[in-house]
A and B are shown apart, each in its own frame.
Chain A
Amino acid sequence: MSTDDISLNDNQYLTFVLEDELFALNIGSVREVLELTSITKVPRTPEFIRGVINLRGRAVPVVDLRMKFGMGETRRTVNTCIIIVEVELDGESTVLGALADSVQEVYEMESSQIEPPPRMGTRIKSEFITGMGKSGDRFIVILDINKVFSAEELNLAADAVGISGTVERREGTADAGV
């Protein structure tokens, strides 16, 4: 993508629903949206990383955002989607999938319409949020995808591998969600 495209897309956001809340990602980091396909579970890894899917011959890990944010496991419905995003992981560009209950639309918001993240009162860690937008009378939580999918958040430290690591992780996410 050229720099021109990025500036063009700078105020465009893909909105999606987790549970009943509206979230958004900057369109620049979104590659595509897929229907939910079969996910192959990878054993001995944190549960919120649901496994891998075959994206045109590539193994792409899929993260359950709801579990990550402490909203419980994503259930399979006709609307369930996988949003394929590109994030920087330890300086490497990595392709990941994020599960969403449903994907809404591409929504345009000027930066003046976006408010800074509240310091408390949100269900998810405020550091994951770049700002709050509005659609009608609904709030849109704009996520900082690189923070949500940072190496620490994905629990990549070597000691976290294994069953016990998974348990700890889940507790950790639950705390963050409260």
Chain B
Amino acid sequence: MSQDDMHRMAFKEEAAELLGELEDSLLALEDQPEDQDLINRVFRAMHTIKGSGAMFGFDDIAAFTHEVETVFDKVRNGLFAVTKPLLDLTLAARDHIKSLLEVSDALDADDEVIQTRGRDILCRLRQLSPTAEPEPVREAVEPASELPRGKATYRIRFRPGPDFYTTGNNPLHLLEDLFALGIVRSYPHTEDIPCLEDIDPESCHVWWDIILGAQVDQGQVQDVFVFVEDECAQLSIEMIDSGSAAADGGVYKKLGEILVERGDLTPEDLAQALASQKRLGALLTESGVVPGPTVEAALVEQDAVRDIRKAREPAAETAASIRVAADKLDNLVDLVGELVIVQAQIKQVVSGSADAVLKTLSEHLERLSDDLRDSTLGIRMLPIGTTFNKYRRLVRDLSAELGKQIDLVTSGEETELDKTVIERLGDPLVHLLRNSIDHGVETPEERLAAGKPARGTVRLTAEHSGGAVVIRIADDGRGLEAQAIRAKAVERGLVSPEAELTEKELYNLIFLPGFSTARAITSVSGRGVGMDVVKRGIESLRGAVEIDSVPGQGTEITVRLPLTLAIIDGLQVQTGQEFFVAPLSIVEECVDLPRTDRLDGDRIVNLRGEIVPYIRLRDFFSIDGRPPDVEQVVVSCVEGSRVGIVVDRVIGEHQTVIKSLGRIYRDVEGLSGATIKGDGTMALILDVPGLLRAAVQS
């Protein structure tokens, strides 16, 4: 890959991120159209895409974005308000930029279609733009020119020559012209005016230092002086602040810096002057005007404000982060896994030794490797909310397309999941949401007729539940018709007509391949692919999906995902000669199961008056040998209810590095992987919910 390609790749990545940000901001603007901060964010994102796009040769993207940016510049300056059509168009423009980015990969892409779409978007955007001023034309001619956005600040030193008046000019007229451009602060220098006897009334003795804050470019300022340039002893116009960065309201340069910059003071002189200068606080205290503590208090406030401002700056931009290739991260996780295994082995060896120093060291090592493990895995964890915004857009666009009014309510955005899980969860969730919108929520008329509010709601929630993350998609739509599903399933030969199924079982039939109850095939869903793909997608993540519905009130789909951490805290247990590990996160307690409690056929244990069913691992896994007199029950909490797992012996906590059992053992029920014990042999990790499901089935 050439250097250039690498840069282009980097640009694409950056642009993709910016487009995501842009979308978020636009969607947020829909709710708060007045928010100047959001408008600025939209503008900044586009500005950056344009700038770096042009730099890396994505000229089409730069040109297109420029036009959109121009419109938002006007919004930013309050020339017109954020409206829904504007947001629609801007979102469309964002999608267009995205497709431009993608097309740049494929050389044979259908350019014409995209070009046409781009032109169409721009055309409509221009129509939206209220003032048909000549300015846009100029910008279109030279899209690369860096026009000052917002108010730029210029420093002008205007020193008319002595013969200024003789050529018929009046400096006051020029100043008036400047006043017309924007805000002007001028400082007239009268020090050159001689005393009255010596004065030449026909010469100009006054000169000006002017600071102009105006929404114009440097050329326009220059134009004011265009006819007098030759008559001036000194004329300089400098842009000292382009306006784009001025929004933060920070402190402007210090006096000394300004003087040095203007050439009125040499840096050496400044340094000397500063060295002899006392701080204001010291001066005030010395003169006794203000007591020392008061000054100090004021200084504290000053410092605090400065620090807060500083802290705010990076937060307003992007969170400080670095980009790391995912495989490097995977490698790190692997290494930490190996370290944890070695640490466990050391611990085992040391526990048999009497050396106190060695024991302390081993404990240190354990603590360190625990922390290292947690923070390494933490790197891979992302809040699921990052993907929720994507769905907000989906719901917005789809409901508009279908003529429905739907709000997406999300919660649990902060729930963290492994990065790979989040990535692979995207498609299934999109399918599920599409289904809720298309089949679930009714049209406003239907809803009103059914006595519901016209606006439907789709709830997308995520939460931790034991060792799993539960994601729910619930709508308040028409619900599923159990009998329609049954009829369809029978028609498709998926169940026999006389099969007796509960409602829930009927609902879950829609996850079978080739099942679709939609009567009309829409562009959204209803092609009979979907739910089975969803189920497979989620199962490939070792998750489970379930559906429940109340006719007329809505449908709720529950997706349950294991955290799939590479390393978990586990509880090691033994049955016969086999060792197993249960995820500690779902273990509540361990109790003894005396022989007297074991009644034939009855697989329940009395836990302080509560009846808890149990699964005997020895029976379930057909392990040979005689159980000990007192077996132990690991009481776990699965999906809100307690269940016991009976083992011979509970060994203790175990740092469990999850190793995949691989392709061959993928379908084994009740097991989710393997781990390496302290002595180097392997132990199997129990999948307690899976165990429970399999036990209930048999």
Contacts and interface: CB of A to CB of B under 8 A. Distances in A.
Interface in B331-364: 334, 337-338, 341
A151 B667 CA distance: 13
Given A41-B578, A49-B664, A92-B663, A57 B682 contact: no
A2 to B, nearest CB: 22
A57 B659 contact: yes
A40 B664 contact: no
Contacts of A111: none
A52 interface: yes
A151 B620 CA distance: 26
A59 B666 CA distance: 12
Contacts of B579: 40
B451 interface: no
A158 B682 contact: no
Nearest to B670: A44
A94 B674 contact: no
Nearest to B681: A38
Contact of A52 (B621, B622, B657, B682): B682
A135 to B, nearest CB: 32
Interface residues on A, range: 20 to 34
Nearest to A46: B664
B662 interface: yes
A90 B664 CA distance: 11
Interface string B649-668: 00000000101111111111
A57 B622 contact: no
Contact of B659 (A59, A89, A162): A59
Given A52-B682, A54-B681, A161 B662 contact: no
Given A53-B682, A57-B676, A45 B665 contact: yes
A52 B668 contact: no
Nearest to B620: A43
A109 interface: no
Contact of A43 (B334, B621, B660): B621
Contacts of B657: 57
A94 B684 CA distance: 20
B667 A43 contact: no
A144 to B, nearest CB: 18
A163 B622 contact: yes
Contacts of B620: 43
Contacts of B682: 40, 51-54, 59
A43 B674 contact: no
Nearest to A161: B667
Contacts of B661: 42, 52, 59, 61
Contacts of B659: 57-59
A94 B663 contact: yes
Nearest to A41: B578
B683 A156 contact: no
A151 B663 CA distance: 9
B668 A154 contact: no
B693 to A, nearest CB: 13
Task: Name, among B334, B338, B578, B673, the residue most crowded by chain A CB atoms within 10 Å (CB to CB).
Answer: B578
B403 interface: no
Contacts of A158: 667
B78 interface: no
Given A54-B676, A156-B663, A40 B683 contact: yes
Nearest to A158: B667
B676 A44 contact: no
Nearest to A61: B664
A170 B683 CA distance: 26
Nearest to A57: B338
A40 B581 CA distance: 13
Contacts of B667: 156, 158, 161
Contacts of A43: 578, 620-623, 668, 670-671, 684
The listed residue with most A CB atoms (<10 A of its CB), out of B665, B671, B682, B683, is B682
Nearest to B657: A57
Contacts of A94: 662-664
Contact of A57 (B337, B662, B669): B337
B680 interface: yes
A42 B662 contact: no
Contacts of A60: 662
B427 to A, nearest CB: 21
Interface in A45-72: 45, 49, 51-54, 57-61
Contacts of B622: 43-44, 163
Interface centre among B664, B666, B682 (most CB of A within 10 A): B664
A169 to B, nearest CB: 13
Given A57-B341, A94-B664, A42 B669 contact: no
Contacts of B670: 43-44
A142 to B, nearest CB: 24
A37 B668 CA distance: 23
Nearest to B680: A54
A60 B662 CA distance: 8
A61 B664 CA distance: 8
A51 to B, nearest CB: 8
B681 A44 contact: no
Contact of A61 (B341, B665, B669, B681): B665
Interface string A132-167: 000000000000000000010010101001110000
A72 B674 CA distance: 27
Interface in B671-690: 671, 673-674, 676, 680-684
A175 B325 CA distance: 51
Interface of B: 334, 337-338, 341, 578-579, 620-623, 657, 659-671, 673-674, 676, 680-684
The 7 A-B residue pairs whose C-beta atoms are closest, nearest first, are A43-B621, A40-B682, A59-B674, A59-B659, A61-B664, A38-B681, A54-B682
21 contacts: A40-B579, A40-B681, A41-B578, A43-B623, A43-B671, A44-B622, A45-B668, A49-B664, A52-B674, A54-B682, A57-B334, A57-B676, A59-B660, A59-B661, A59-B673, A61-B662, A61-B664, A89-B663, A94-B662, A96-B664, A156-B664
Given A59-B659, A90-B663, A156-B667, 13 more contacts: A40-B578, A40-B674, A40-B683, A41-B578, A42-B671, A43-B684, A52-B682, A59-B661, A59-B662, A61-B664, A156-B664, A161-B667, A163-B622
